[in-house]
Amino acid sequence: SSPAFDARAGRRVCTRQQQGRVRALRGAGRPAPGAPPAVREGVRALGGMPQGAPWPGALLRRAAEGLQRVPRGAAAAAVAGGLVALSWLGWRRARRRARTAFNLETPVDREGTACVKEHPLILDARYGRDRPRNAVPMWVADMDLPCPPALVEAVRRRAAHPIYGYTMQDAAVWEPLRWWLRARHAWDVAPDSLVFSPSVVTSAANCVRAFTARGDGVLCFTPLYGPLQHVVEPEGRVLVSHRLRDGACGAAPDWGHLEAQLRGAPGGPRVRLVFWCSPHNPGGRVWRREEVDRLLDLCQAHGAVLVSDEIHADLTHPCWGAPHRPA
């Protein structure tokens, strides 16, 4: 008989006939004298299995049917133990898969987490006290979707250690990132080119301090994610705005005006740094390869450092017709 499917539990479970075989195995399963350790452990594992555990149907069926075909005795116990061990391993794999399954359908209650997007103080300051109380907060890039289960489990494992002292970014930390950039974007990044930073905005502020001096110009393509613009003037730099215009593929720079801004007007600030969002924020515009190359050429010709915020690079939509090209 094939395993039944429990719709409420969302998992495969044993039929009554198979459960009866399992109960018989639990009661009579004893490792034979001289059986290999793995077999003995398999039999013991079966005896310790909780009732109603989500056994993988195919493995359990193989084990139960195999037991009916072999004679009693040491050989039978050895075969039974091996099959049970196989089923036990399959059950463990099924449990691991269940823990790493994504659930994007069940709403997550964020009450009590000091969530910024729904915090009354923030909403009152932005939209007033008379704002609709049932409005959906879509003003900030904060999705109400749970983090991947593997990430949650890794944080839990680390949090279980009682000391949260200073740590270093071990070299092994960068290997998954390098693999992802190579596989996803055909970009091979040297390990010594990677530097840890707590956030994109912190990185932007550090670049302003490192590559410009007081009175220098920092050019931004507007409209632009606000915090990137807010790190310019507090550092004593001049914010130079380049308004994107409507183009055939969406928002686009005015290349002639951009070159004039990079060249600088007599007596005006010299642009030493350019903030570039790729894809652009807001709007999600995916810049084409020729646009990125043209911007790089202009920055190089006029001695400006290009700082590219590519945090949304993996969320591009194929409708744009162009893949993300790292700057």
Left, alpha or beta for 171 (phi > 0: left; psi -120 to 50: alpha)?
A: alpha
Q: Which two tokens stand for residue 95?
A: 């449990």
- Tell me what pLDDT residue 250 has: 81
Sign for the CA dihedral angle at 201, 206, 207, 213 comes to: positive
Q: Which two tokens stand for residue 104?
A: 């994007």
pLDDT in tens, the chain (327 residues): 333 333 333 333 344 444 444 444 444 444 445 444 544 444 444 444 444 444 444 444 555 555 555 555 555 555 555 555 555 566 566 556 555 567 788 888 888 899 999 898 999 998 888 988 888 888 888 888 898 888 899 999 999 999 999 988 888 889 999 999 999 889 999 999 999 999 999 999 999 999 999 999 999 999 999 999 999 999 999 999 999 998 777 889 999 999 999 999 888 899 999 999 999 999 888 898 999 999 999 999 999 999 999 999 988 876 666 788 888
Name the β-bridge partners of 12: 5
Answer whether 0.95 is exceeded by the pTM.
Answer: no
Q: Give ∠ CA 83-84-90 in degrees, rounded to 5.
A: 95
**HSE toward the beta carbon, residue 147, CA cutoff 13 A:** 7
Report the distance separating Cα 258 and Cα 279, nearest Å. Answer: 19
Report the distance separating Cα 160 and Cα 157, nearest Å. Answer: 5
Q: What b-and-e string marks burial along 62-77, b requiring 16 or more CB atoms within 10 Å of the CB?
A: ebbebbeeeeeeeeeb
Q: How many residues does the chain have?
A: 327
E strand or H helix at 22: helix 16-28
